[in-house]
């Protein structure tokens, strides 16, 4: 093999099978894609060992991708339900699934997921460390953490979230400025607690080159986690967040020197007007590495509806350059999501991604909306359902009500503007009686 990673191949001018597949699917020239993978502005997370994968690209000029979180936790140990979430994600064409399992037989579940998932699979090895190593947090040694990453890499995980940017330097900004919600990243808070309890530097920062060797060998994309993302509107774009982003940008170049593919993770909770500037800041500081955002949630006051607060922020983020959206469900801040919550979250994220794709003018995006417009003008309900993001729901809604006037819906009946315009433009007269 002349290369270990997609980035290495691209730098050598080798067009891989994965690149060809992604280029075809995105309707762009393979050579253009190759250049972007070489430059790091596009990643194709594709672990050598993930045999069922249908590869996707994330980044410059490509359609916006979405990720679905799931996994086994201490309070919810229903393996069947978590696998059903994975199937739902695949059904609605989510391009990525993150397995956030942190309890019990995590590697059994991970293997099952990797076998069935045509979507790329990501993990946060830090969550799994306590269970995998069978030690409590303070007793884990720095290099132990790398062993967990190695286990995930060997099993076929396509990308891993690593909180390497929360180091002594960026923590100084957090501790000197203070903030309303402190650290709300699960992995980030564990690293912070470990650093405080042991007095050591962040192991993923201290042993970053060793980490790169592991990721390089299996072509695992690193998703540089934002431990200090804002957990409320009031903490957005503050010293802690920005200091960590500076570190992530510096680490990006170091990872690239190892030919390791890099994504950057981003906020979080944030007012609407801060979103576009944050996208620009990431692109500048992180040398146009793809941006993977959680939200942003544009207000804190709507628990139970955070799929909507995040769809608003996600759409604006995607339109302003975010490449990859992590879904948020109505259960966010309240409980582990149920299967219906997961569906709501997936649809909201797909809408946000597509709204962004219209702005990005990615091939095929506008044509889809235009087909729906044509179907609506023709009052062709079959065609409308065919173009609907969630055909089943659209059809069930329509079928549940019974308009007296053929081909209309109960919203307007005989007063249907489309029906009446079609008649008058064809020279017929319009009667409402």
Restricting to residues 58-117, name those near its own copies by CB under 8 A: 73-76, 102
Question: What are the Cα distances from residue 113, in Å, to 71, 96, 125, 160, 214?
Answer: 10, 12, 15, 15, 22
Total number of residues that touch its own copies (CB under 8 A): 109
The CA distance from 273 to 293, in Å, is 16
Stretch near its own copies under the rule CB under 8 A, chosen from 14-22, 36-44, 50-58, 179-187: 179-187
Residue 59 tokens read as: 């980044």
Using the rule CB under 8 A, which residue among 189, 242, 254, 383 binds its own copies? 189
Q: How far is the CB of 113 from its own copies (least distance, A)?
A: 19
Closest CA to 155 of 186, 132, 130, 139: 132
Considering only 34, 43, 183, 289, the residue that binds its own copies (CB under 8 A) is 183
Q: How far is the CB of 2 from its own copies (least distance, A)?
A: 42
Alpha carbon of residue 135 to chain centroid: 30
With CA atoms as reference, report the closest residue to 266 among 277, 253, 255: 277
Distance CA 36, CA 49 (A): 24
Q: Which is nearer to its own copies, 237 or 299 (CB)?
A: 299
Q: List binders of its own copies among 211-230 (CB under 8 A).
A: none
C-alpha 66/C-alpha 69 separation (Å) is: 10
1 is a site residue for its own copies (CB under 8 A): no
- Token pair of 71 as six digits: 């996994």
Least distance to its own copies, CB of residue 416, Å: 8
DSSP state of 73: B
Q: Which of positions 345-364 make contact with its own copies (CB under 8 A)?
A: 347-348, 350-352, 354-356, 358-359
Tokens for 122?
């990501």
| Nearest residue (CB) to its own copies, 13 versus 304 | 304
Query: Residue 422: CA atoms inside 13 Å, Cβ hemisphere, count?
Result: 15
Residue with smaller CB distance to its own copies, 2 or 136: 136
Task: Indicate whether 46 belongs to the interface with its own copies (CB under 8 A).
Answer: no
290-309 positions binding its own copies, by CB under 8 A: 298-305, 307-309
Query: Could you tell me whether strands 324-326 and 120-123 are parallel, antiparallel, or unpaired per DSSP bridges?
Result: unpaired
Query: What is the spatial distance between Cα 101 and Cα 123, in angstroms, rounded to a whole number?
Result: 8
Round to whole Å and give the CA distance between 211 and 213. 5
Q: Which is nearer to its own copies, 158 or 357 (CB)?
A: 357
Using the minimum distance from each CB to its own copies, give the nearer residue, 115 or 405: 405
Of residues 320-349, which lie at the interface with its own copies (CB under 8 A)? 330-336, 347-348
What x/- string results for residues 194 through 213 when contact with its own copies is judged by CB under 8 A? --xx----------------
Give yes or no for residue 382 binding its own copies (CB under 8 A). Answer: no
Q: Are 227 and 183 in contact (CB under 8 A)?
A: yes
Rule CB under 8 A: say whether 168 interacts with its own copies: no
- What is the helix, strand, coil percentage profile of the chain, to 5? 55, 10, 40
Using CB under 8 A as the binding rule, the residues of this chain from 146 to 165 that contact its own copies are none
What are the residues facing 258 on neighbouring strands? none
**Residues between 389 and 408 with contacts to its own copies, criterion CB under 8 A:** 389-390, 393-394, 397-398, 400-404
């Amino acid at each position: 093999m002349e290369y270990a990673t997609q980035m290495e191949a691209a730098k050598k001018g080798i067009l891989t099978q994965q690149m060809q597949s992604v280029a075809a699917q995105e309707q762009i020239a393979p050579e253009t894609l190759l250049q972007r993978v070489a430059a790091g502005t596009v990643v194709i997370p594709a672990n050598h060992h993930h045999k069922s994968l249908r590869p996707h690209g994330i980044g410059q000029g490509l359609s916006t991708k979405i990720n679905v979180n799931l996994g086994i936790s201490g309070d919810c140990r229903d393996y069947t339900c978590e696998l059903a979430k994975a199937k739902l994600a695949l059904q609605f064409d989510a391009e990525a699934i993150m397995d956030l399992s942190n309890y019990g037989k995590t590697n059994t579940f991970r293997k099952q997921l990797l076998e069935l998932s045509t979507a790329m699979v990501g993990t946060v090895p830090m969550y799994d460390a306590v269970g995998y190593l069978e030690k409590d947090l303070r007793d884990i040694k720095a290099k132990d953490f790398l062993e967990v990453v190695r286990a995930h890499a060997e099993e076929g995980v396509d990308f891993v979230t690593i909180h390497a940017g929360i180091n002594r330097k960026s923590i100084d900004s957090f501790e000197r400025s203070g903030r309303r919600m402190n650290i709300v990243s699960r992995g980030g808070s564990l690293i912070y607690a470990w650093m405080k309890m042991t007095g050591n530097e962040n192991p993923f920062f201290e042993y970053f080159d060793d980490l790169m060797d592991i990721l390089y060998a299996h072509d695992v994309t690193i998703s540089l986690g934002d431990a200090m993302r804002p957990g409320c509107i009031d903490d957005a774009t503050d010293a802690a967040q920005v200091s960590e982003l500076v570190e992530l940008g510096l680490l990006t170049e170091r990872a690239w020197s190892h030919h390791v593919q890099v994504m950057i993770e981003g906020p979080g909770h944030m007012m609407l007007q801060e979103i576009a500037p944050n996208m620009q800041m990431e692109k500048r500081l992180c040398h146009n590495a793809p941006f993977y955002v959680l939200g942003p949630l544009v207000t804190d006051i709507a628990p139970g509806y955070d799929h909507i607060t995040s769809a608003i922020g996600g759409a604006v983020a995607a339109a302003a350059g975010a490449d990859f959206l992590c879904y948020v469900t109505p259960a966010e801040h309240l409980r582990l999501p149920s299967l219906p919550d997961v569906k709501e979250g997936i649809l909201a994220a797909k809408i946000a991604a597509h709204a962004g794709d219209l702005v990005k003018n990615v091939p095929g995006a506008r044509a889809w909306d235009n087909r729906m417009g044509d179907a609506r003008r023709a009052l062709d309900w079959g065609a409308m359902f065919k173009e609907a993001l969630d055909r089943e729901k659209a059809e069930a809604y329509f079928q549940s009500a019974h308009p007296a006037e053929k081909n209309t819906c109960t919203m307007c009946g005989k007063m249907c503007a489309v029906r009446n315009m079609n008649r008058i433009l064809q020279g017929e007269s319009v009667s409402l009686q």
